[in-house]
Structure 1
């Protein structure tokens, strides 16, 4: 009798799972595409491929996941493409989605998409080549104050992103106006580091995950990190506060979809993303790239983006008054 009951229970569970799987398949289709609006190895690309890896390996979706790199115009080409899609496409975003518009570089705003999630934050760092005579972030800023145009600063993929903005905010604290800083724009962080090693630029600002592989290869020195305290993994890298600059700055990355996504799609991704960020493999991903968990679901993300839009507008209004 017990064996019959067990068989009935297992059959019922299988039927339920099958129904759920079929329902999910109807919502997201056989294939999901994640748009990384940057080249391979950039921060957006790392995030997209981390999602792809965890969602597939943990079997959190039934279909296939492809990552598509749509490169150009500081994320603009990838986001325009996403905006025009209707079926099962997501895109990685960051604050540049907001600042592109505030700077007049784009007509697209965060309101032109369906918010899905904010996933993680990471710190900003300032790097120089390993053989550079710049010994500290403080000495760099002091020298820049005396002769700002002597220093070429590398940034990617566009002005107005957090890499540049964090550096501008530091400059303000030592009396430098943003128009005194000479930024050189590159398509991705690999090109920035290449220019740094070839002495075409003197210093670069980028996210920690992008810089760390070059640091591990002993090609660059990290002068400073925008964290509130030194990281255990990088005990020799001081914070801005240790360099006498009052700045703690976090860079976030999230996920969005095309406009007019259905309630069923949003609900599916809310459930799936919440499961994803709770997996051990996602936690290992955070540790690998030294990201901080900052998960927000779709409704929380909508509020967060509105708040960020107001914050960046205030920051950039200050910059425009210089």
Structure 2
């Protein structure tokens, strides 16, 4: 099969299109013929080696974290899916590789594709959808009437998170550029801040939750200050926390490094009587199934900026790296 692989780590490295062995199937796996694969900044960070401290993939390996496609084979113990099912997934860490014609995935990480959307739209959802779900539902436990600040509202996670937060009954503030104001307003944002001309800290106060996605340390400090006492900041960009290090079973010396890396952020949060949490989303088929229900009910609609042909996966990744995409970018494999 054809696949885009990481030959070696590096920011200047491109993914290499090559012939690769078709995946083998474990007893709990389904083999999926890839139709569409969402493109994420995570794909760039993995290629760059930014996460090799705690996600040490050994090159060469296939990149890609989002998939929609059709089940073509099932393992001997698979009970939830059959050949011909249209599915989507964010495969587990160490089992990624959606920039390829086929991928084998544990059935627990898979859900049936929503019936009312295209394969391309389905391929755009899993990573962003699960990130928003785990931040707002699982960790944040957002309740009706609470105030949520979602940074970068027109991005892949942002467009999904705004819709989910509104469904949960929250008042939603977000940042975006002038050209995307109508987009985020249409998704349900209540208060929109043009980050190029306005300072969100002067407009927001006493928020219950911040979904933080900006690497600027000044933005992090401002985000902590707009929270009310007992509020929580959930960061998608770090620094990672000791709780995260423990959850993924890192050795003691890496736990120590991560503890030191996040000490400043955690300490500032503690002084303000708020919490700082790091979310590195995980594969979860059951949650994806709940997302399917919301999409089929018309509560959430996927937002796609561009669809690239499979051969232009590097161009798709470069476009995502500009940070200018409105919603998600997808490569069409089949």
TM over 0.5: no
- TM-score between the two structures when normalised by the length of structure 2: 0.30
Report which of the two has the higher share of strand.
2
Work out which structure has the larger RCO, using CA pairs closer than 8 Å and 6 or more positions apart in sequence: 1
